[in-house]
Amino acid sequence: MKRAKRIRRKINRNRRRIKQPKRRILPPKTAKEYFARPESFRDQWNRITHVVSKMRAERVSLRKAARQFELDPRKVLKFAGSVLRKRKNGRYSAKPSDRLLRVLAVPTANGPRETTTRDSKQASLLGQYWSAIQSYLQTGDDSELRKFKGQSVVAQSGETFPLITNLAELDRLASAGVFSFESLYARST
């Protein structure tokens, strides 16, 4: 009886020692992976990419940028640590460019079309273009839009989207209610 108890205790002790492998959650690399995740993860992922963009554009600290987007800085480091650089003083700064997946809306002749990019420079170009469109629609000044004449955005799939600079076409799309600030990140939030 005593021996059987000792054997059972030993077996139970050994069972407790076996660690289950942690499931490592990897950042999405494709649109298919991104949309396979729950809505809460997609929202969090979008905020992580915003944190990195804000750190790069405005040179703010990781903590300040993460707080603005209601994220824990450790979560940002977990998913986007590869695009951040730890400086000598222990603070983090964003590298000049990154390869994080972003799902964005590109204005086309038929209205905004959702696409993915893994190039921060393409995402930045598209963001500046949307800003120029909003500026034109609010003020009527097309000087910012002229900078984008002949330019296009390349999606992750390799598809090229020419940026519309034709004012008549932009007016037509605006009157149809196609352009709004929210349409920049159409389905992703």
Top pLDDT among 86 and 186 is at 86
Q: How many CB atoms lie within 10 A of CB 128?
A: 14
Q: Hunting for tokens 């139970």 — which residue is that?
A: 12
pLDDT over 50 at 81, yes or no? yes
pLDDT band at 11 (very low <50, low <70, confident <90, very high): low
Contacts for 135 with CB less than 8 Å, ≥ 6 apart: 141, 144, 145
Contact by Cβ (8 Å): 76, 62:
yes
How far is it, in rounded angstroms, from Cα 157 to Cα 31?
10
Q: What is the mean pLDDT of residues 106-132?
A: 91
Q: What is the mean pLDDT of residues 133-156?
A: 92
- Predicted confidence at residue 8, as pLDDT, reads 62
- Predicted confidence at residue 63, as pLDDT, reads 96
Average pLDDT of the chain, as a whole number:
86
How far is it, in rounded angstroms, from Cα 104 to Cα 2?
68
Q: Where are the alpha helices (DSSP H) in the chain?
A: 2-17, 31-36, 39-58, 62-68, 73-80, 120-139, 143-146, 167-175
Q: How many CB atoms lie within 10 A of CB 4?
A: 8
pLDDT over 90 at 175, yes or no? no
- Predicted confidence at residue 26, as pLDDT, reads 84
Q: Which fold has domain 31-94?
A: Arc Repressor Mutant, subunit A (1.10.10)
pLDDT over 70 at 2, yes or no? no
How far is it, in rounded angstroms, from Cα 186 to Cα 182?
6
Residue 141, classed as helix, strand or coil, is coil
**Alpha carbon distances (Å) from 57 to 20, 33, 85, 151:** 41, 27, 15, 22
How far is it, in rounded angstroms, from Cα 140 to Cα 85?
41
- Predicted confidence at residue 183, as pLDDT, reads 47
Q: What is the mean pLDDT of residues 42-55?
A: 95
Q: Domain ranges in the chain?
A: 31-94, 102-185
- Predicted confidence at residue 10, as pLDDT, reads 61
Q: Strand 160-162 relative to strand 102-108: parallel, antiparallel, unpaired?
A: unpaired
Task: Write the pLDDT tens digit of every residue in 84-103.
Answer: 999 999 999 999 999 999 99
